[in-house]
Amino acid sequence: MFESILFRKKMVEAEAKLRRLMDLSLERSDIANDKRIHDRYKRALPVLITPWRGNQTSNAESHMGISRDMSDHGVRLFFFKEPTGQEFLLSFFLQRERNVLECFHFKATVRNYMKFAPDIYSVGMNILEHLQDGEVEPGVRTLLHLIGQDSEELR
C-alpha cells in the first residue's frame, strides 16, 4: 500500500511539471481535435529521448525527437528511429533567455507506436514520474547543454 501511495505522489508531481511545461510553451487554447478523456494540447517541442534500461539511462543511444501533443498524463512524440525499449527518459528543454535552458525530465513508458512515415514513428507515452536535474545522469545534462549552445548559434 505504501508503494502505491508513493507511486501516486510521483504521478501527481509529474502531472504538475508537465502542465508547467505546457503552460510555458504556448497558450492553453491550442487544444488538439482528438476527443479523449483528457484534453490534449498541440505542442511541437524538441525532446532528447534516452533509453532507460535497468535503473539507468543509455546516453550513447540518445536521439532527438519532437512532441506532437501533450496532456497531463502523457505525450505523443515523433521518434526518428524505431523505439527499442519500453521505458525512456524524456528531456524537454525551453530556452528561457540567452544561454539558459529550463529542462523538464520525465521517466515515461511506451503506450503505443506506429510507423508514421519512412524512419519516423509516432509514439504515445505515459509519464511515470518527473526527475530533477540532479537525478539525471551527467551525460544527458551535457548533451542538453551542447544542444542549447547549437540552438543559440542558429539565432
pLDDT in tens, 55-81: 888 788 889 999 999 988 899 999 888
CA distance 52 to 19: 23
Element (H, E) at 155: none
pLDDT value of residue 108: 96
pLDDT value of residue 112: 93
| Angle ∠(22,110,59) on CA atoms, nearest 5 | 85
pLDDT value of residue 152: 53
- Does the pLDDT of residue 154 top 50, yes or no? no
Q: Assign 51 to helix, strand or coil.
A: strand
pLDDT in tens, 81-111: 888 889 999 999 887 666 667 889 999 999 9
Element (H, E) at 46: strand 46-53
The owner of cell 512524440 is 77
pLDDT band at 26 (very low <50, low <70, confident <90, very high): low
- Does the pLDDT of residue 113 top 60, yes or no? yes
Superfamily of domain 2-154: predicted glycosyltransferase like domains (2.40.10.220)
Please indicate, yes or no, whether the overall pTM of this predicted structure exceeds 0.85.
no
CA distance 41 to 23: 10
